[in-house]
Chain A
Amino acid sequence: MKNEVRRRLLYGGPQRPFYAVKRNSSLGKRRRRGGVKSRSFEKRGQHPGTRGRQAEARLATRLVRAPAMLKCGMGGSQVKVFGKAIQALSRVSDELWLDPSEKGLALRSVNSCRSAYGCVLFSPVFFQQYQWSTSVKMNDNDTISNLNCKLGMKSILPIFKCLNSLERNVESCKIFTRSDKCKVVIQFFCRHGIKRTHNVCFQESQPLQVIFEKSTCSNTLMIQPRVLAEAIVLFTSSQEEVTLAVTPFNVCIKSSNEESMDLTSSVHSEMFVGPDEFDFFQIGVDTEITFCFKELKGMLIFSEATHAPISIHFDFPGKPMALSIDDMLLEANFILATLADEPSRASSPQSLCLSQKRKRSDLIRSNSKAGKNVTSKALEHISRKAAPKRLCPNETLTDISALENCGSPPLKRVSGDVGEVPASSVRRAEEVLASPCLRKFSCMFFGAVSSDQHFSHPFDSLATASDSEEDVNYGSFSTF
């Protein structure tokens, strides 16, 4: 307990209260059929970082405290679907959040430049057994916090590697958490009485969420994954981006290349698909959107396991698009940023988005911890439950100075996928520099909450932590 509080102290400015956002209020309407469980956030002055907390903590050790937990079990055939979900999310980023709630177990992943988000929600019916609880702390002010469990993909992906052999051999699988040791335990009960146990350390971190109003998109397509898979074959793995061009008469999936005279440059490929190949075809506005190929492939991997049709919701370039699968047992959503055409194409939310971003990077640069409340009127609302430690200025791909300012330590420290992200974000930065007409990915997460002040380099905090005794526990997280 003492350890936990100490850790939280380091995450943000100790003196800053946490202006929490109540999820419901910013939405306006419920985004899911099941409704949103309202989670009451800590009241002012109760931020984990406040000094008062330490005093509380000493008190708390004497009180009953039940940690948040998750316990679920699934059969052999579900393991494959679960594993495919993890594989698909691994295309988004190198971190995975396990987020249990009454709606089910959600696996979430966000890439470090915030241009892609994936979430697979397994409903309780998917599991043979499903139990979860929030942590309850009995003291003067009730604080409830969920299981904030973040795993590194490098740890969990190998466990679900050979899905075909898992499907054959595994009879059931149990996943449960041990909060006292910050571990997730995955047990496979295989044939011939073999039991395989994996212990994966997790990091306490509150997950991010993107709220995307699919129903308000003017273009919706629903297609069998097989058709998309045939289209994907056209493109090489070196293809970075694909473009989806729609008119009311047909849909074209094509490779998106910059013009170049190089012979070894990729072949430009296009595939036209007629409306009758879609299960659902509604095109409100002719448009062409360009997005990352890698994440599309990730989604396709998952759809192979579910055999359910994929829905694509999108509008105009610049606005994020959604790829989703809705099944009785699970719901998968991949929200991808799309390439915006020009800055002059200023539909106001977008330009607002840019100014918000600049404001944020200013915050970062000046390292000010002024509790400025940056509210967002952006199209996509962000529900952010806590200050994410990892938010690196490089998320604002367009803001070059922010990129430069990022400094190498955070980039290196951040999990593996940044290895690839800087390459592409730097590349885009170069593009931006080169061409007067700026093409950029619109960032989905923008100055939503005032948790901005926590963007101070978390690694500075870690640096101080290393002086303390508790850094022994911390060290185990450095593998992420």
Chain B
Amino acid sequence: MKFRAKIVDAACLNHFTRVSNMIAKLAKTCTLRISPDKLNFILSDKLASGGVSMWCELEQENFFSEFQMEGISAANNEIYLELTSENLSRALKTAQNARALKIKLTNKHYPCLTVSIELLSVSSSSRIVTHDIPVKVIPRRLWKDLQEPTVPDSDIIEANLNGELNLKIETELVCVTTHFKDLGNPPLASENASQARNPEQMAEVHIDIRKLLQFLAGQQANPTKAVCNIVNNKIVHFDLLHEDVSLQYFIPALS
């Protein structure tokens, strides 16, 4: 298994750092999937994460000037690594004004993702900073748990087909509702299903507000497009599209 990548552009580096910060806020431990043309940060729905799951996808071309990888085998040309997301974001934080950043998969006593940063210092001699982030290689038999989640056929809920979204909280003493109007509805995949629905009818889901907050707080940049899909009383699915990163986040309903 091999992986080497290099970023030289400052803007790309910044963007990658922001993505990594966002991931660090959303998930303590996550899986990094490396494939020839994409990088994915995955959090699969386990009890530990409270049932939320996350899938973030980056096109590697948009970030890395050099990118080489060799998966576990020719047939399965992918690498799955488990790491503590905060370690990566902290390592990238030191790369603020770096001349170049290299990431490699290495094995120093244990598998590591080595982030090597070349900093330009005042005295014009470059300083090299290395961070070895310990990772765990996920064996192939567990890969099936980490596949891209299929977006369920959803009714737009708590939003309706007329472009209204209501966020409601209820406590014993107070009930607050925020009404959003004039939102767009993306065209649904299956036209047949939607025809039967009454555009006025609301569908709703109860979710843990902390999880929603954690998701929203983790956002570092404004996405170009945000889609919220709700399956009645089951799950809410957020799909945020930035320029070259897409992030999908699933929050299950409270039982």
Chain A residues near B (Cβ < 8 Å): 227, 233-234, 236, 259, 261-265, 267-274, 276-277
Interface pair A234/B129, CB less than 8 Å apart: yes
Partner of A259, one of B83, B109, B123: B109
Alpha-carbon distance A436/B109, docked complex (angstroms): 21
Interface pair B132/A263, CB less than 8 Å apart: no
- CB contacts (< 8 Å) of A271 on chain B: these are 127-130
Given contacts A233-B94, A236-B90, A261-B110, contact A267 B127 (CB under 8 A): no
26 residue pairs from A and B, CB less than 8 Å apart: A227-B121, A233-B93, A236-B90, A263-B82, A263-B83, A263-B84, A263-B135, A263-B136, A264-B29, A265-B134, A267-B87, A267-B131, A267-B132, A267-B133, A268-B108, A268-B132, A269-B91, A270-B129, A270-B131, A271-B127, A271-B129, A272-B127, A272-B129, A273-B127, A274-B127, A276-B123
Chain B residues near A (Cβ < 8 Å): 29, 82-84, 87, 90-91, 93-94, 108-110, 112, 121, 123, 125, 127-136
Known: A259-B109, A268-B108, A277-B121. 6 other contacts (CB 8 A): A233-B93, A263-B83, A263-B134, A263-B135, A268-B132, A271-B127
Alpha-carbon distance A233/B124, docked complex (angstroms): 20
Alpha-carbon distance A265/B131, docked complex (angstroms): 13
Secondary structure class of chain A's binding surface, majority of residues? loop
Interface pair B109/A267, CB less than 8 Å apart: no
Interface pair A268/B110, CB less than 8 Å apart: no
For B83, B132, B133, the residue with the greatest tally of chain A CB atoms inside 10 Å of its CB is B132
Interface pair B94/A267, CB less than 8 Å apart: no
- CB contacts (< 8 Å) of B90 on chain A: these are 236, 267
Given contacts A269-B91, A276-B123, contact A263 B130 (CB under 8 A): no
For the complex formed, measure the closest distance between the CB of B105 and the CB atoms of chain A, giving whole angstroms: 15
Alpha-carbon distance A263/B137, docked complex (angstroms): 11
Alpha-carbon distance A276/B125, docked complex (angstroms): 8
- CB contacts (< 8 Å) of A277 on chain B: these are 121, 123, 125, 127
Given contacts A263-B82, A267-B90, contact A272 B128 (CB under 8 A): yes
- CB contacts (< 8 Å) of B83 on chain A: these are 263
* Closest chain B residue, CB of each to CB of A268: B132
For the complex formed, measure the closest distance between the CB of A244 and the CB atoms of chain B, giving whole angstroms: 15
- CB contacts (< 8 Å) of A233 on chain B: these are 93-94
- CB contacts (< 8 Å) of B133 on chain A: these are 267
For the complex formed, measure the closest distance between the CB of B92 and the CB atoms of chain A, giving whole angstroms: 11
* Closest chain B residue, CB of each to CB of A224: B122
For the complex formed, measure the closest distance between the CB of B223 and the CB atoms of chain A, giving whole angstroms: 29
- CB contacts (< 8 Å) of A274 on chain B: these are 123, 125, 127
- Which 6 residue pairs of A and B lie closest in terms of their CB atoms, listed nearest first? A268-B132, A274-B125, A270-B130, A271-B129, A269-B131, A272-B128
- CB contacts (< 8 Å) of B125 on chain A: these are 274, 276-277
Alpha-carbon distance A267/B116, docked complex (angstroms): 13
* Closest chain A residue, CB of each to CB of B96: A233
- CB contacts (< 8 Å) of B123 on chain A: these are 274, 276-277
Partner of B84, one of A259, A264, A273, A276: A264
- CB contacts (< 8 Å) of A270 on chain B: these are 129-131
Alpha-carbon distance A274/B91, docked complex (angstroms): 21
* Closest chain A residue, CB of each to CB of B115: A267
* Closest chain B residue, CB of each to CB of A262: B134
Alpha-carbon distance A272/B132, docked complex (angstroms): 14
For the complex formed, measure the closest distance between the CB of A224 and the CB atoms of chain B, giving whole angstroms: 9
Alpha-carbon distance A274/B122, docked complex (angstroms): 12
Interface pair A269/B130, CB less than 8 Å apart: yes
For the complex formed, measure the closest distance between the CB of B43 and the CB atoms of chain A, giving whole angstroms: 15
Given contacts A265-B134, A273-B127, contact A234 B82 (CB under 8 A): no
